[in-house]
Amino acid sequence: MKLFSGLANEGRLKVVLLGVFVLSAVIAAWLIYLFTAKQSFLAAEGDARSLRYSVIPAHRGLITDRNGEPLAVSTPMSTIWVNPQELVQDRARWPELASALGMPLDSLSKTIDDRASRLYYELKKGLPPEVGMQVAALGIAGVYHKDEYKRFYPAGDVAAHLIGFTDTNDKGQEGIELAYDQWLTGEEGRRQVIKDRRGHIIREGGVVRNAREGKSLALSIDLRLQYLAYRELRKGIDNFKAKAGTLVMVDVQTGEILAMVNYPTYNPNNRQTMHPEFMRNRAMVDVFEPGSTIKPISMAAALNTGRWNLNSTVDARPGQMKVGRFTIKDVSRPGVFTLAQVLQKSSNVGMSKIAFDIGAEPIYNMLQQVGIGQDTGLGFPGEQTGYLPARRTWPQAETATLSYGYGFSVTAVQLAHAYAAIGNQGKAVPLSLLRLDRSVNEVQVMKPEVAEQVLSMLQSVVETPGAGGARAKVQGYFVGGKSGTAKKTSSSGGYTQASYRSLFVGVAPLSNPRIATAIVIDEPTEGGYYGGLVAAPVYSGVMSGALRLLNITPDNIPAEMLQTAGVNTVKGGR
């Protein structure tokens, strides 16, 4: 029995030894296989557990005005982030961290304790880069920093509606920042780093991809004019206790928008003060009936037909006219008017009779050609095209209202664009929010002599005593323009009884037109509401400064001043 037992034990030992040998051989063969056939796979798996990529932040493109003045810049900033699971194990150094970040210790302690189970939390953003590096240099376990960029707007609330702003991820949210986000956005770079299983960086590798900065953008606006326009617009709003206002300046020869301001506004550098109602760009988003400011366009249509000329007259007596169930009324004293006097006295009756003679189609076509109710092509987020109704047949009532600015809607930008065509010898050019370094395509929308005649009429509106534009005069320059007063529509239908928009649109200087300007004052509540009373003085103030800032030679110097200075020149104007 002992003999058989010994033989059995010896056999089992041999089996075990054989099993160990076979298993060892299999393991050795598998290792040889892995290190030969699967070497690249193993390397990749090892890298996947230790090799990481850190982001190299990209610089968003600079936005400037036409003269290179910064409107939106990206400032380097540092963000301190923590791994709470690590940081809770080093409480002794929390006072040191709180002091470096300028945070109360109890606030820091609560923040970390509430997030003790998390691996990532951004503790403080927007720090100067040197502060971030100093905090990281403390060597506190679980405390890290990363470089970022923060958008800053030097012009603040003066250009807020045009420039817009970005979100916390540096993506455009409003205005130019949104419209040109793809152009302005850079491409982040990548750097290799090796980390241990706890996420600590052991060694930094090379740069895999360099960061690519966003492209810069030069806008058409002149920041000097922007500040001037903002100041004068706000002054006008304050003087008449108005609800809001808009001002737009356009270069008549290039179509570049030189200034665009709205009030109320907001500060894009302080997001806590933002109010949704104040954030929309009224110049391109708000639509309204233009009232009498459209009469010069209707007059151009009449002159363009050849049926009317500067010597034509129209009988506007007795100052009102029944058209169907509507009554058209004039505010000024009735009479037999020349075409210039129709604009000077802003006669609805006179303008309606002219429209009845030529029909609605020429007026409608002219409005379309100068950009009323049409897409401006600016591509601004939320921009409205307004509304210009198209009819197969035009009843008399609609023909009349079309001629003096009711029954359709426009934006302030469209009004400035329309007057720019008059100032540019009847040639319309596309609008632009970008600085142009090339010639633009022009379309002749009215005869040059017609544009000249309309400018002459607009000059008489400003220079004739008692006319609606008398308060728009600019010392030293001949200017022309037209005021307008439009009732606001009611949410319940029809028009309100005591809410108005006061408007003035003008061109200057008339000897060589350079700037078309549209001003809209919304709901003045004290001191009056007529456009010639409320908006015309704003035009005078802003153009007095703008023409001098642009070094445009005065064309209306009194003769006695010229003689005193020993200058022999011909007086300009029309």
CB within 8 A of 328, min separation 6: which ones?
Answer: 320, 321, 322, 348, 349, 352, 400
CB within 8 A of 128, min separation 6: which ones?
Answer: 77, 78
Please give the pLDDT value at position 204: 54
User: Which tokens go with 381?
Assistant: 């987020």
For residue 508, what are the CA distances in angstroms to 156, 317, 352, 415, 518?
29, 33, 28, 15, 12
Active-site residue, 292 included: yes
Cα of 396 vs its chain's centroid, Å: 40
Distance in angstroms (rounded) separating the CA atoms of residues 67 and 147: 31
Residues of the chain with pLDDT under 50: 3, 42, 48-50, 202, 569-571
Domain with CATH 3.90.1310.10 in the chain: 54-218
Please give the pLDDT value at position 267: 93
Q: How deeply is 565 buried, as exposed, middle or buried, from its count of CB atoms within 10 A (0-12, 13-18, 19+)?
A: exposed
CB within 8 A of 292, min separation 6: which ones?
Answer: 346, 348, 404, 405, 468, 482, 483, 484, 485, 486, 503, 531
Residues 78, 292, 502, 511: which is the catalytic one? 292
Distance in angstroms (rounded) separating the CA atoms of residues 56 and 210: 7
CB burial string 306-335: b at 16+ within 10 A, e below: eebeeeeebebeebebebeeeebebebebb
Please give the pLDDT value at position 77: 82
Which 8-state DSSP code applies to residue 174?
S
Q: Does an H or E element contain 433, and which?
A: none
Distance in angstroms (rounded) separating the CA atoms of residues 360 and 337: 21
Please give the pLDDT value at position 569: 47
Q: 295-305 and 348-358 are packed helices; what angle lies between their axes, rounded to 10 degrees?
A: 40
Q: Which CATH architecture has domain 223-565?
A: 3-Layer(aba) Sandwich (3.40)
Sequence length of the chain is 574
Q: How deeply is 572 buried, as exposed, middle or buried, from its count of CB atoms within 10 A (0-12, 13-18, 19+)?
A: middle
Query: Topology of 54-218 in CATH?
Result: Penicillin-binding protein 2a (Domain 2) (3.90.1310)
CB within 8 A of 238, min separation 6: which ones?
Answer: none
Torsion of Cα atoms, 525 then 350 then 467 then 372, to 10°: 60
